[in-house]
Structure 1
Amino acid sequence: MAQRPPSAAVLVLHGGRESGTGPPPPGPLNLPGLRMRPFVRAIGRADRGSADDVLVRQVRYAHRGWNGPRADPLHDALAALDALGEEAGHVPVVLLGHSMGARAALCAAGHPLVRGVVGLAPWCPPGDPVSQLAGRDVVLVHSSRDRMTSPQASQSLTARARRAGARTCMVTVRGGDHAMIRRAPAWHRLTTALVSGLLGSGSLPGPVRAALDLPPTAEATEGTLDLDRLRAAMEGAAPAKP
């Protein structure tokens, strides 16, 4: 039986460093790449339970760092999107990035295939552009205790991007960490629900959809959700106390 063509795709971008022109280490020595494998598996399991065929691909970086104005991972992401288009055709794509990979995903979101971005513990320098996010759905997930990248900068980016024409939301993970090791199952479940919902192969949690529908003038705090309260709303339970 001929395999059905994919109806959508997810492009995964792992983290890296602020600078570093050498290539990422291979295989299991690439710890940022290794950290994204559970997310890839979780998305794959969700796809097997869906009527849609979702293609999952990972970006391969030529260099392990962002490297200032060179923005090396951004060029790798754009090249991967072009290759994905040649492989799968004009399918909707959600970019899933962590840390530096989330920065690359946000910057690459103007590519015509991209429908949305899910950024995990994203690196969001205040000077990065947001005009390319117009017309896209953007959900950023950040630990309140992250010491590597700033949750406040992520929240600020959601407001700037909303004013530029994006539909944005932020989810705060209490007690999490930058590497997404603490509360790992919650990170995996939420991310899978977000990716599936943005692609239309699943349902977005109601509070996330409501946040995405906020007007451009909404304050950053209005589009910020707490993971535990979000899960409680999804499960119909009382919210966890801070």
Structure 2
Amino acid sequence: MVLLLPDGEPESARRPSPLAYAMAMPLGRALARAGRDDGLVVHPVHYRSRGWNGPDAQLAADATWAADEVVRRYGDVPVCLVGHGLGGRAALHAAGHPAVNSALAMAPWLPEDDMAATPEPVRQLAGRRVLIVHGTDDERTDPELSYRLAARAKRSHHDICRFEVHTDGNALRQHHSEVLALAADFVLGALFTRPFARPVADALAAPPPLGLRMPLAAGFGKSLRP
């Protein structure tokens, strides 16, 4: 099961944005196609509102609720949380749910280190495989912040890696096909214990900073497996 977590806003009580859901659906469809023969199901999570809203962390709470619903409806199936922007932050926060075995955060929106009352949590990532993907030219969510979080997590949680998409922005459109292929490779490897493509396996195994600044190569996906 993949729970797809669209982007949101740092502070808002407004209803979820239809545009954010529309932007998430190409990734959801790509993952569903890639995992169809394995029985992969992709569910978008419909938030109560579009705002993270400080300590309420509403998007993460909604992701946790959705994981509970997966257990209630489907039983003991592994779950991968996949999110973009603030949805990526929600995926990382909610990764400690017992049903979750992996999380994919794409261009995760994270608070500035010197503005956060407490550091972003990483203990919940223990025992999960985690992939962060970030464009180096992202002007909305600072890629250096996702690197710092990954570096903190890597000290005690070894199954984490981070790929950099050079010259790409927040929407990761410039290298869209490679990003989708990377996401599919990670999700299928995490949920179905398939071997990861060589770059992903190398990134998971490499010490920092190598495995946390792995460049996404042009043409990734043309030959996914070793």
Please report the TM-score for the alignment, with normalisation by the length of structure 1.
0.84
Residues 119/104 of structure 1: CA separation in 2 closer, same or farther (3 Å cut) = same
Greater Rg over alpha carbons, structure: 1
TM-fit CA distance, 1:230: 8.3
Where 1:219 maps in the other structure, the secondary structure is: coil
TM-fit CA distance, 1:222: 4.0
1:35-83 deviations in Å (ceiling 9; x for gaps): 11111111111122x3x21121111111111111111101101100000
Structure 1 portions without partners, runs of 5+: 1-8, 237-242
Structure 2 portions without partners, runs of 5+: 114-118
Aligned length: 219
Residues 1:116 and 2:108 are matched in the alignment: no
Where 2:29 maps in the other structure, the secondary structure is: helix
TM-fit CA distance, 1:233: 10
Correspondences of 1:187-202 after superposition (within 5 Å): 187-200=179-192, 202=194
Correspondences of 1:38-53 after superposition (within 5 Å): 38-48=26-36, 50=37, 52-53=38-39
Alignment counterpart, residue 85 of structure 2, candidates 96, 99, 113? 99
Q: Which amino acid aligns with 2:108?
A: P
1:60-108 deviations in Å (ceiling 9; x for gaps): 1111111111111011011000001111111111110001001001000
TM-fit CA distance, 1:202: 4.1
Q: Distance in 1 between matches of 2:31 and 2:224?
A: 21
Where 2:35 maps in the other structure, the secondary structure is: helix
TM-fit CA distance, 1:166: 4.4
Q: Distance in 2 between matches of 1:129 and 1:235?
A: 32
Corresponding residue for 2:116? none
Residues 1:12 and 2:1 are matched in the alignment: no
Higher mean C-alpha displacement, 182-191 vs 92-101: 182-191
* Contact 1:136–1:166, Cα closer than 8 Å, also in 2: no
Q: Distance in 1 between matches of 2:185 and 2:137?
A: 23
Correspondences of 1:143-162 after superposition (within 5 Å): 143-162=135-154
Alignment counterpart, residue 90 of structure 1, candidates 64, 76, 79? 76
Q: Distance in 2 between matches of 1:93 and 1:221?
A: 27
Where 2:108 maps in the other structure, the secondary structure is: coil
Corresponding residue for 2:197? 205
Q: Percent identity?
A: 37
Q: Distance in 2 between matches of 1:185 and 1:210?
A: 21
Where 2:104 maps in the other structure, the secondary structure is: strand
* Contact 2:140–2:170, Cα closer than 8 Å, also in 1: yes
* Contact 1:133–1:166, Cα closer than 8 Å, also in 2: no
Q: Distance in 1 between matches of 2:108 and 2:15?
A: 21
* Contact 1:207–1:230, Cα closer than 8 Å, also in 2: no
Corresponding residue for 1:227? 216
Q: Which amino acid aligns with 2:105?
A: G
Residues 180/219 of structure 1: CA separation in 2 closer, same or farther (3 Å cut) = closer
Q: CA RMSD in A?
A: 2.1
